Amino acid sequence: MIKLHIKKVSFPPEHGSWGFVLEPLILSVLVSYSIQGLLLAVSSFFIFLNHQPVRVLLNKKVNKQLFLPALLFFTIYSAFIFISFFNVYRNTIIENLLPFVVAILLMLIFFVLELRQKGRKLIAEFIAPISITFIGVSIVLIGGWNIYAAITFAVVLLARSITTVLYIHLKVQHIKKKNFSKQLLYFTETVFFVLLVLLMLSNLVPMLSIIAVIMLIVRAVYGLSNKGLLENIKTMGIKEFIFGILYLVIVYIGYNLNL
């Protein structure tokens, strides 16, 4: 029973959200490593974890047995957030943290929507990956990148997260036996593909980022085919985890080897 309580208050139950948070944070640190950037990623990860105990604490119908464990984890996570972020704040140019501040504001908006039972709406689901992208921008700025390189890197991050939100949304709509249209996803993927090709031709993003996006396009075409639509949510989740790792590795190699 104690283990059950701890699980309910310590980790977000939405397993898909882990990838949306960890992938851009890890990739940002890898392509532009710095101690302060790593600490900002750590702080951001614990903000993500703290979402669950805060959600439990603000729930008026919460089981009283969950209140103290939630308060304990909120305190622990908050301590990690404060220690890591305070170190970043003391040793970083304040302008580099402005994207991080924007990310926190977006997260607060998402949290309010979630409390109002609107967190599952498609427009709300875009907020989390966009906010993490802003954090990624701060991390690479702290690592010494100029603002133009940071912005183009944000496009690379969004090419994965935005299209994936749309793709998963369509798959879930099918599983729930609701009508869905592929046009918005294919249009969004095309826009990101063309944009990244133009950036690549201008030597602003590595060529392998194009390969990574093509991989996602192929995944979407197959996943939304008659055969791909037979997959259940668990299978889809495992595949997205694998695609997320592949995207991270391919893009990292591209930036690291300038390919």
Domain spans, the chain: 1-145, 147-259
Is a pLDDT exceeding 70 seen at residue 56? yes
Question: Would you state the pLDDT for residue 14?
Answer: 64
Here the tokens at position 192 are 């990101």
Model confidence band, residue 7 (pLDDT cutoffs 50, 70, 90): low
Q: Are 176 and 215 in contact (CB under 8 A)?
A: no
Average confidence (pLDDT) over 90-108: 93
Percent above pLDDT 70 for the chain: 91
Q: Give the max Cα distance, the chain.
A: 59
Here the tokens at position 67 are 């209140």
Mean pLDDT of the chain: 88
More confident residue, 13 or 247: 247
Is a pLDDT exceeding 70 seen at residue 195? yes
Q: Are 47 and 84 in contact (CB under 8 A)?
A: no
More confident residue, 123 or 226: 226
Model confidence band, residue 98 (pLDDT cutoffs 50, 70, 90): very high
- Where helices occur in the chain by DSSP H, the ranges are 2-10, 16-31, 35-57, 64-90, 98-115, 122-125, 127-142, 147-175, 183-201, 208-223, 233-257
Average confidence (pLDDT) over 202-219: 95
Is a pLDDT exceeding 60 seen at residue 1? no
Neighbouring residues of 64: CB distance < 8 A, sequence distance ≥ 6: none
Here the tokens at position 193 are 């593909």
Here the tokens at position 219 are 């995944």
Closest alpha carbon to 51 in 29, 21, 96? 21
Average confidence (pLDDT) over 33-60: 89
User: Which pTM does this prediction carry?
Assistant: 0.92
Question: Would you state the pLDDT for residue 51?
Answer: 85
Q: Are 14 and 49 in contact (CB under 8 A)?
A: no
Closest alpha carbon to 100 in 127, 77, 132? 132
Question: Would you state the pLDDT for residue 235?
Answer: 83
Token match 């990244």: residue? 196
Question: Would you state the pLDDT for residue 121?
Answer: 67
